[in-house]
Structure 1
Amino acid sequence: MLHRTDVAKKLRPSPAVRFRLLRAALYWVGFAPAVWVFYLGFTNQLGANPVRTLEQELGIWTLRFLIATLTVTPLRNLTGISLLRYRRTLGLLTFYYALLHFATYMLIDYRLDLQAITADIVKRPYITFGMLALAILVPLAVTSNDRMVRRLGSTWTKLHRWVYLAATAAAVHYLLVVKSWPLEPIVYFAIIAVLLAYRLGKHLRRRRRRRPAAA
């Protein structure tokens, strides 16, 4: 007869299955805020300017997932906690929220008035920065699968470093969109600045170590 521990081991899902289950759970949890804010919108619970509130909430969640994506590497380096397997999921959640944010702006706010949207991009710097961030996120999302990683090779790493520019543009976008400069956008900007400064410092230290070896 099989011992209870042997039965438990047989019933326990494999690491690959556990990863897929956790990744699916992360997607479900990640999309919950979007579902909730759209529910509030459909039930007229987003205040006096529901479209603007909807746009802002989706934009803020874009920044939150972007920060979560950028935090994965420093978290591993400083604490040993590795969430690298879920960084791609967090990155895709960032893109999906950015797309929802953009779709709300295009379809609900401006009702596909391309002339007004083009004028907005040219005249309003915060729209320009927002569009720049989205334009960068699109190729990053398209190439975020295993097939593209293998196909692009080392170019994939160089391409995905553009996420740092996207993060900067997104932070500036949020900072400029709020006229009175409350604390929240400044905090998000500061967090992204710290995360990017950490990466820059790490890159500079790596270059210093290589110089003596090359000499």
Structure 2
Amino acid sequence: MIDTINAAARKVPAWVLYILLILPIPYLFYSAATGGMGVEPINALEREIGELSLKLIIFGLLITPLRKYLKLNLLKFRRAIGVMAFVYVAVHLGIWVVLDMSLRFDQMWSDIWKRPYITIGMVAFVAMIPLAVTSNNLSVRKLGGAAWRKLHKLVYPIAVLGAVHFIMVQKVWEVEPMVYLAVVVALIGTRYVPNIKARLSTSV
């Protein structure tokens, strides 16, 4: 079964994923504009786009464990997922800037400093910029593989910040955002469990 999925995945060009992942954005804007998102469409749109961006970040983190533990190789799609996660975060921020805050930059600047959930979200967005800019083969060659991989480990704190931001945005404590954070922590933990086991085995 896994071999069949891997064989099928090898035949699918990465650009197909870019197209598939961009499609929900115009659909969600259309839904918000035509009354499909309730009485507060801007808030609903902002939240929906933000949640989708977090899901993409999580799925990007999931690719390595899937390959390591289940032999499911979706590595060729990781760059597309990462770039599109940044696109969704940028759209999420754009909705807040243009539609929610109506370009009131003084108010936005004040909120960034006074509201921790906005501060955390902005830090995560800024940290994603170098990852998006270097998500290409030229950057890998210029930086070198080791430096490039080290830079892209920023995705770990970004994922944590994104999950915490999502938790703090809620008016009340909800289970779903807590599950996202737990999944992020678990996926990051899979990177370090083998190293811990190796150190323990060598120390015995």
126, 134, 153: which one pairs with 1:161?
Answer: 153
Letter in 1 for 2:87: Y
1:104 to 91, 95, 116: 95
Partner of 1:81: 72
Give the aligned residue type for 1:72.
I
Question: Distance in 2 between the 1:123 and 1:49 partners?
Answer: 24
Which residue matches 2:22? 31
Which contiguous aligned blocks of 4+ residues in structure 1 show a shift greater than 6 angstroms?
A: 209-212
User: What secondary structure, in the 3-state scheme, does the structure 1 residue paired with 2:23 have?
Assistant: helix
Shifted more, 23-32 versus 86-95: the winner is 23-32
Equivalence for 1:49: 40
* Residue 139 (structure 1) shift: 0.5
Q: CA deviation at 1:114?
A: 1.2
Rounded Cα–Cα distance in structure 1 between residues aligned with 2:136 and 2:120: 26
CA distance in 1, matches of 2:176, 2:74: 26
Any stretches of 5+ residues in structure 1 without a counterpart? 1-14
Q: Deviation per CA, 1:134-161, whole angstroms, max 9, x where unpaired?
A: 0111110000100000100121111100
Aligned to 1:96, the other structure's residue is in SS state: helix
Deviation at 1:107? 1.0
2:159 corresponds to which letter in structure 1? Answer: A
Which residue of the other structure, out of 169, 173, 176, is the alignment partner of 2:165? Answer: 173
Q: CA RMSD in A?
A: 1.8
Q: In 2, distance between residues paired with 1:211 and 1:142? A: 39
What is the number of equivalent residue pairs in this alignment? 194
1:63 alignment partner in structure 2: 54
The worse-fitting range, judged by mean Cα deviation, of 54-63 and 34-43 is 34-43
Higher RCO (CA < 8 A, seq sep 6+): 2
Cα 1:104/1:81, change in 2 over 3 Å: same
- 1:192 — aligned with what? 184
Question: Highest Rg: 1 or 2?
Answer: 1
Contact preservation (8 Å) 2:33, 2:41:
no
- Structure 2 spans left out of the alignment, 5+ residues: 1-6
**Which of 95, 103, 112 is 1:121 aligned to?**
112
Contact 2:140 2:148 in 1 (8 A): yes
C-alpha distance after superposition, 1:15-59 (max 9, x if no partner): 9xx76x532221122122212211101212211111100100000
Deviation at 1:211, TM superposition (A): 6.3
Distance 2:127 2:88 in 1: 14
Q: Which residue of 1 aligns with 2:133?
A: 142
Identity of aligned residues (%): 38
Q: TM-score, normalised by structure 1?
A: 0.85
How far 1:205 moved relative to its partner? Answer: 3.7
Residue 183, structure 1, aligned to residue 175, structure 2: yes
Q: What amino acid maps onto 2:176 in structure 1?
A: E
Equivalent-residue separation in structure 1 for 2:24 and 2:186 (angstroms): 26
Rate the CA distance shift 1:115–1:72 in 2: closer, same or farther, 3 A.
same
